[in-house]
Chains A and B, each alone.
Chain A
Amino acid sequence: MKSELTLEATDNMTKNRSSDQLIWLLIAAIALVAALFVPFSQFVLHVEYDYTLRTVALGGALLGIVSGVLGCFAVLRRQSLLGDALSHAALPGVAIAFLLAGRDLGLLLIGAGVTSWLGVYFIRLVTGTTRIKQDAAMGIVLAAWFAAGIALLVYIQARPDASQAGLDTFIFGQAAAIVERDVRLIATVGAVSFIVLALFWKEFKLITFDPEFAGASGFRVNLLSLLLSTLIVVAIVLGLQLAGVILMVGMLIASGIAARQWTNQLGQMVMLSAVFGAFAGGAGAIVSAVDADIPTGPLIVVVAFLLVAISLGFAPGRGLVWTLLRQRSDRRLFAAQTMLQDLYHYALDHGRADLPAPEPFLVGVRGAAAREGLRQLQARGHAQRSNGAWMLTRTGIEAAARDDRNHQLWSVYRQYADDLALPMVAEDRQQEIADALPPAAVAKLEYKLDTIRNAAASSTEEPSLPNAVTDR
């Protein structure tokens, strides 16, 4: 009976390669559903894809991919708030670049990158050389750099110069500002950062998981860490125009957080985060571009948060719904298992295996779980009710005996695995021991168990081993 029950209860999303393929399929399915947003927006929301909107949609989606991929590392390195500090720190760069060189998007973004990168460097310097903690250092940089940026922007706006118009879209982002050249820029820079990421994939994974060990293995951890932070800065800077400095962090980390719920592998997490990012960026940009008065950053972040909420709720394994379902199935499984053993041992103690046990007695001992368990056993044909008492059926007795013996074998395994030189496996009493150990090992255990039982039977003392016999 165990094997069939185990299947419904076990969290086997992550255990083997076949579930691995399942997740890849899931990712593909999610990508497909996300792509359906385009026809949905055309036919339901009546969005018309003219040249401008195609550009904006493409820009938003590409940006979502870049920030989704790099954002995974920000999330895993627990640097989500660093991303927030960095995007705020980009604002003074935009203003300074404008004052120095006028309105050229490339130069504005380079300016943004420089101040943002200086922000990272300052934070690393402060946390590395003083006793100030990272959160405090980030808070200071965020506030100071952003304050400087706002002050400069207000100063610029007061100047009698028409070219400054729209510079404030950097605060909340504006999809309508995206032109084909920007899309090409995002694609090119994004591709370059992906190449760097692919080249140093193993190194980035190692410094994210265990920087100390990376250092002991001879990798330049500080350099790699700075490189990874630089890539994150690049993603932020690319997204400023669209999402704005205040909400860029949402675009950076939301899809990574959502993706983490669905998979336990870094590669899959990054791919799925790219899919989520593309959807959030694309959908947010499209919807906001319908009316130029809607700022894009907030829309993207709202869409991204919806993805996070759905993931937290429904992702298999980690999601809330999944957890509730599993708890319910566990409750049923264990109620049934307990009642099966209760009936079996009650009957055996009174002389024969199919002796009925009165229901009030069972409920008195086990409470509500007894009714649940008995219902399960009845549904399975393991127990039947007559005259207010429950008795095991023939299949029920067989299942109970098998279950009982399995438990005893596990008990013998726990006590004698070393003496019998058996392979070390995780003890899992829900599993048939024959599925966990090679046949020769099981044969040894069977022999040992019988020896113990015979010894106990021939001596006058109560059998003390294995525990399962007396425990249950």
Chain B
Amino acid sequence: MTVRNGHDSNDNSTTALEIDDLTVAYNSKPAIWDIDLRVPEGVLMAVIGPNGAGKSTLIKAALKLIPRAAGTVQFYGQPYEQVRGLVGYVPQRGSVDWDFPTTVLDVVSMGLYGRLGWIRRPGQSERESAMHALEQVGMQEFADRQISQLSGGQQQRTFLARALVQDARIYLMDEPFAAVDAVTERAIIAILRELRARGKTVVVVHHDLQTAPEYFDWVTLLNVEIVASGPIAATFTPDNLRRTYGGRVAYLHEGQRIAGLEEE
């Protein structure tokens, strides 16, 4: 069963991401179950839910990185294979070996490999684009640095730069705020807002209920199934949070939620 809030008001805008009946199973247990989701263009959306709710699975399944048991995913009305260039991806920072022998600039250039296609090598213009993306995340000083010398926050910004260089229309980011310090968090949210200001759509797996209403204007509450999805003001309610996390957590965060909403 899915409950959708706030869809109707946005039906006339472009849909950046549309997911229908998506189910992903690991060992006969559903990680996500019968997901129906529409993400309108131009929103900054958080995907929120408890551990094991399937947040990362949702993103990976949308990108066909893991097999789907059922369902379809469309970006701008087309299957992913046909619009890869429009979709940028930021995996979890911990998913790679940061002792790999390469430089920051080289990692950022990897964002352009998909566009280059098979066999063609990155050249001067790719280096310039990568450098520009590094400037956007404030990391130009680190271009020639070996990636093992980066702090956690710098690793995250390097990954962001690699996504920025893709110059996509929609970005899917897996926990970009995980274990970064306050300064990096501010830098990242500034970049996300900048992306939204340029009309991009950003979907972010997020785990911090406190900051969600402040950072995002759209939210999907997920716990294997979609609990609710829509504009944050109408969707991020104590009621919906309780149905996502169970009673106690929603109650704990009620005060913070209201404080957050007033800032909006």
Contacts and interface: CB of A to CB of B under 8 A. Distances in A.
B138 interface: yes
Contacts of A174: none
B144 A15 contact: yes
Contact of A264 (B60, B65, B148): B148
A414 B11 CA distance: 46
A264 B101 contact: yes
A400 B238 CA distance: 58
A14 B119 contact: no
Contacts of B120: 202
Nearest to B87: A216
A202 B121 contact: yes
A218 interface: yes
Given A203-B118, A216-B63, A264 B146 contact: yes
A200 interface: yes
Nearest to A263: B101
Contacts, number: 96
Interface string B93-105: 0011100111100
A212 B65 contact: yes
B119 to A, nearest CB: 5
Interface in B114-155: 114, 116, 118-122, 138-139, 141-142, 144-146, 148-149, 154
A206 B187 CA distance: 27
Nearest to A436: B141
A226 interface: no
A55 interface: no
A205 interface: yes
A219 interface: yes
A16 interface: yes
A426 B144 CA distance: 14
Contacts of A217: 84, 89, 110-111, 113-114
Given A209-B110, A266-B101, A215 B145 contact: no
A200 B116 CA distance: 12
Contact of A16 (B60, B144, B148): B144
Interface residues of A, number: 38
B144 A17 contact: yes
Interface centre among B107, B113, B120 (most CB of A within 10 A): B113
B149 A14 contact: yes
A14 B102 CA distance: 10
Interface string B77-98: 0000100100101010001110
Given A209-B100, A210-B110, A215-B65, A424 B121 contact: no
Given A209-B110, A210-B95, A200 B101 contact: no
A260 B102 CA distance: 11
A416 interface: no
A212 B91 contact: yes
A15 B101 CA distance: 13
Contacts of A201: 121
A14 B64 CA distance: 37
A212 B101 contact: no
Given A76-B100, A264-B148, A216 B113 contact: no
A255 interface: no
Contacts of A219: 113-114, 118
A202 B122 contact: yes
Interface in B45-70: 60, 63-65
Contacts of B141: 425-426
A202 B112 CA distance: 11
Contact of B110 (A16, A76, A213, A218): A213
A209 B89 CA distance: 15
Given A212-B91, A218-B84, A206 B110 contact: yes
B26 to A, nearest CB: 10
B119 A199 contact: yes
B69 to A, nearest CB: 15
Nearest to B85: A218
A255 to B, nearest CB: 14
Given A203-B118, A212-B95, A216-B65, A265 B103 contact: yes
Contacts of B114: 216-219
Interface string A209-239: 1101111111100000000000000000000
A269 interface: yes
Contacts of B116: 202
Contact of A213 (B84, B91, B145): B91
Contact of A205 (B27, B65, B102): B102
Interface in A417-433: 418, 423-426
Contact of B113 (A14, A203, A425): A203
A269 B148 CA distance: 15
A241 interface: no
A67 interface: no
Contacts of A425: 141
A424 B161 CA distance: 15
B150 to A, nearest CB: 10
A16 B104 CA distance: 12
Interface string B148-173: 11000010000000100000000000
A126 to B, nearest CB: 15
A87 interface: no
A208 interface: yes
A354 B164 CA distance: 55
A78 B100 CA distance: 11
20 contacts: A14-B149, A15-B145, A76-B97, A199-B119, A200-B119, A203-B118, A205-B110, A206-B110, A210-B110, A212-B91, A213-B162, A216-B84, A216-B91, A217-B89, A218-B84, A264-B102, A264-B103, A265-B101, A424-B139, A424-B187
Given A209-B110, A210-B95, 6 more contacts: A76-B101, A212-B60, A213-B162, A217-B110, A217-B111, A265-B102
